[in-house]
């Protein structure tokens, strides 16, 4: 099962009652608040509101990842890359992925 709020995987306790949709109580609460804000703003189901800081961090991290992927493709695509070249390239890509993972994407408003 994946949490409706954060997308993280979690195990569901088999038992009576509705199956859990959130990995933790705080995520259920945040999703509730985001739905309430979406209703207040009259958002359509396909619309999500992010604050500007989150949006800019996400956009910049995606840009860095794309640039890193292009650099790695160029570096490894020319000549005969060595094992050290691959190790360096993977390290570069991993750093760009970590940047992206550090962006906490939590909508201010979202239906669902």
Q: Give the helix ranges, DSSP H, for the chain.
A: 25-41, 52-77, 83-101
Exactly one of 6, 34, 72, 109 binds Zn ion (CB under 5 A); that residue is 6
Reported residue count of the chain is 112
Exactly one of 23, 31, 38, 110 binds Zn ion (CB under 5 A); that residue is 23
Is there binding between residue 27 and Zn ion (CB under 5 A)? yes
Contact 67, 59 (CB under 8 A): no
Closest CB to Zn ion among residues 9, 84: 9
Q: Give the helix ranges, DSSP H, for 13-51.
A: 25-41
Minimum CB distance to Zn ion, residue 101 (Å): 15
Q: Where along the sequence are the contacts to Zn ion (CB under 5 A)? A: 3, 5-6, 8, 23, 27
């Amino acid at each position: 099962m994946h949490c409706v709020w954060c997308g993280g995987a979690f195990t569901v306790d088999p038992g009576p009652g509705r199956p859990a949709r959130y990995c933790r109580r705080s995520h259920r609460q945040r999703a509730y608040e985001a739905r309430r804000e979406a209703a207040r703003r009259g958002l359509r189901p396909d619309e999500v509101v992010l604050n500007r800081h989150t949006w800019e961090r996400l956009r910049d991290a995606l840009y860095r990842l794309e640039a890193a992927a292009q650099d790695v493709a160029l570096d490894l695509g020319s000549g005969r890359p060595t094992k050290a070249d691959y190790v360096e390239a993977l390290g570069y890509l991993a750093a760009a992925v970590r940047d992206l993972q550090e962006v906490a994407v939590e909508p201010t408003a979202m239906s669902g």
